Amino acid sequence: MLIEQIIKEKIAQAVNQLYGQEFDPQNVQVQNTRKDVEGDMTVVVFPFLRISKKSPELTANELGQYLQEQVDEVSSYSVIKGFLNVTISTSYWINQLAEAFTDVDYGFTKATEESALFMVEYSSPNTNKPLHLGHIRNNLLGFSLGELLKANGKRVVKTNIVNDRGIHICKSMYAWKQWGEGKTPESTGIKGDHLVGDFYVLFDKHYKKEIEELVATGVSKEEAEQTAPSIVAARELLRKWEAKDTETIELWSMMNQWVYAGFDVTYKELGVDFDQIYYESETYLVGKDEVLRGLNEGIFTQREDQSVWADLTPEGLDQKLLLRSDGTSVYMTQDIGTAKLRFNDYEIDKMVYVVGNEQDYHFKVLSILLDKLGFSWGKGLHHFSYGMVELPHGKMKSREGTVVDADDLMAEMVEVARKTSEELGKLDGYTEEEALETYKTIALGALKYFILKVDPKKNMMFNPEESIDFNGNTGPFIQYTYARIRSVIRKAEEKGIIPAINFDKAMAISEKENELIKTISLYPSIVQEAAESYSPAVIANYVYNLVKEYNQFYHDHSILNEDDEDVRKLRLVLSTTVAKIIKSGMGLMGISVPERM
């Protein structure tokens, strides 16, 4: 049991025995003692004054004396203005370090066959464009959340729904038919998802021009947007696709295969994966059938133009379109079908959708509709809503071609990592192959950490240059510290020094060592907190704090040149354990750490 919980339970017991009143241990306020005050843990005494009917100082002293008598781990205490500061024995911290050092899976809980099954959906790209910076945040959050849940003993299925049908892909298809001249990824040397994205942008360019021409003839802008030849043709392609027109299906299949191949390259480079991929083209009909069932059962209504709607005004929302007047589906229809298929395929205990906060309303509606359709799990869906990513020059727009492609960004990050490393001389003596691999590790570490260290709920500004900095709260700073520790460990191995703790010797530890061990002991609770709060940022900022503590220790204490053999080995245990936790914590964010830098 962690010392914090021990103190909470003993304080509650003390209140009962000293003052004759029950007190819930979980309501006992225990926090880390301020660094300018002697002690390790601080108990807030003020909530007990109405029970003790004594002054804060006297109450704190009585509780402190009880703790010292009843808890072996408490070596001393002090009282400052009604705050009880408790000092924990060195032996306790040494034992905590030993546990962290010896436990291969320190901080993690292993899943069993009975563990809850979480399905985490992330990525969810459209097949009319390559993945962009916004997708990067989505993929990194989804992948990391899956790893955090697994680290907390959950069974996890990481899934992706590919939006491979609809008006968006039909726009790219129409543009390729009109102006593509038979171009393919092979004939152009352009990655498939980028090529299809180019045609999406081309469609928008022609579409806008047609609108301008129609408006110039006296047509209203609204009418022009509906009657422009390009959009009419794209809608016709969508109608033909849903009617299974052979030529349309073949074109759709060909262009989507280009995109899938492109996505696979990007996912591999980014280091994310999926256990199951669903395709909207295979799920939307299931959703359509559910909507028609709801219509027949009086759950939904049909208007004169034959469109199908859900009336959500009793829930404080509005009317929601489920099927267009021509019978074609909308995103909501597809999501209903996908949800049903997933719960048929897996015994899911919790379904988590990793989708940006601009879709908060969508998932609120989805949950209500699934509940109305009689699915018991409808209300239990969780929308992991996160903020948008912006660049210093503003928001991105796909159809205008102003997005930052994920591939281009990752390539730029590698180049920035190369320049920065060369300027600092970080990789002197590396072969060209070793250097390139390390540049990639640094670049992706910088990208992932910069994005994941931010509270997911917040919007964020991404700056490539700021992310690759070997000082401060960055991925490269943490990676460099890990490489430094590994260098110390290799030198120890060369000298035959084996990390060990001499439990037979009463060993004094310094304040810096004590702080470092305390930070190490927090890791299991941090892993739990990160999963429960759906926030990889909790892990990111913990690892940064651990690294800061280690660097202060490293600056003030000799390790391999320490004269006392037992102290030398203990400090090597400290270093080895910190390196293990850095690698573990960064791994939960999908970040690799290099052995040398």
Residue 106 lies in a domain: no
Would residue 51 be called left, alpha or beta, if left means φ above 0 and alpha means ψ between -120 and 50 degrees? alpha
The three state secondary structure string of 256-304 is HHHHHHHHHHHHHHHCCCCCEEEEHHHHHHHHHHHHHHHHHCCCCEECC
By residue range, what is the domain housing residue 448? 407-587
Q: Which residues is 120 bridged to in the sheet?
A: 158, 352
Beta 382-386 vs 350-356: how paired, if at all?
parallel
84 shares a domain with 13: yes
Q: What does the pLDDT average to over 291-307?
A: 96
Where do we find the tokens 């509940």?
371
Q: Are strands 301-302 and 276-279 parallel, antiparallel or unpaired?
A: unpaired
Shared domain check, 462 and 382: no
Determine what percent of the chain falls in helix, strand and coil, rounding each to the nearest 5.
60, 10, 30
Which residues fall within 8 angstroms of residue 360, CB to CB, at 6 or more apart? Answer: 383, 385
Domain match, 301 and 268 both: yes
Contact 359, 390 (CB under 8 A): no
pLDDT surpassing 70 at residue 370: yes
Per-residue pLDDT reduced to its tens digit, 35-69: 888 899 999 999 999 999 999 999 999 999 999 99
In 3-state terms, what secondary structure has residue 30? strand
> Are 380 and 417 in a shared domain?
no
Question: What was the pLDDT predicted at 78?
Answer: 95
Q: Are residues 437 and 373 in the same domain?
A: no
Among the residue ranges 371-380, 381-390, 465-474, the one predicted with the least confidence is 465-474
Pairing of strands 74-80, 83-88: antiparallel
Burial bucket for residue 67 (CB in 10 Å: 0-12, 13-18, 19+): buried
pLDDT by residue (tens digit) across 64-121?
999 999 999 999 999 998 899 999 999 999 999 999 999 999 999 999 999 999 999 9
Q: Do both 331 and 383 map to the same domain?
A: yes
First to last CA, the chain: 38
CATH number of the domain where residue 83 is located: 3.30.1360.70
Give the largest Cα separation in the chain, rounded: 94
Cα–Cα distance measured from residue 328 to residue 237, given in angstroms and rounded to the nearest whole number: 12
Q: Where are the alpha helices (DSSP H) in 21-166?
A: 49-52, 56-70, 90-102, 133-151
SS3 at position 499: coil
563 is a domain residue: yes
Cβ–Cβ < 8 Å for 86, 67: yes
Residue 98 lies in a domain: no
pLDDT of residue 468: 83
Q: Is residue 96 part of a domain?
A: no
- Per-residue pLDDT tens digits for 484-523: 999 999 999 999 999 999 988 878 889 899 999 999 999 9
Tell which of 331, 359, 390 closes a domain: 390
More confident residue, 317 or 423: 317
Domain assignment of residue 107, yes or no? no
Do 440 and 297 lie in a common domain?
Answer: no
Boundary residue ending a domain (44, 71, 88): 88
Which of 12-26, 338-352, 373-387, 456-470 shows the lowest mean pLDDT across its residues?
456-470
> For position 393, what pLDDT does the model report?
61
Q: What SS3 class is residue 383?
A: strand
Give the CA radius of gyration of the chain.
30
Which residue, 88, 111, 137, sits at the end of a domain? 88
| pLDDT greater than 80 at residue 237 | yes
* Amino acid at site 155: R
Q: Give the count of domains, the chain.
A: 3
**415-470: pLDDT as tens digits:** 888 888 887 777 777 888 888 899 999 999 999 999 999 999 999 988 877 888 88
Decide if 116 is inside a domain: no
How many Å apart are CA 259 and CA 280, to the nearest integer? 15
pLDDT computed for residue 506 by the predictor = 78
The reply to whether 596 falls in a domain is no
How far is Cα 267 from Cα 272, in angstroms, rounded to an integer?
5
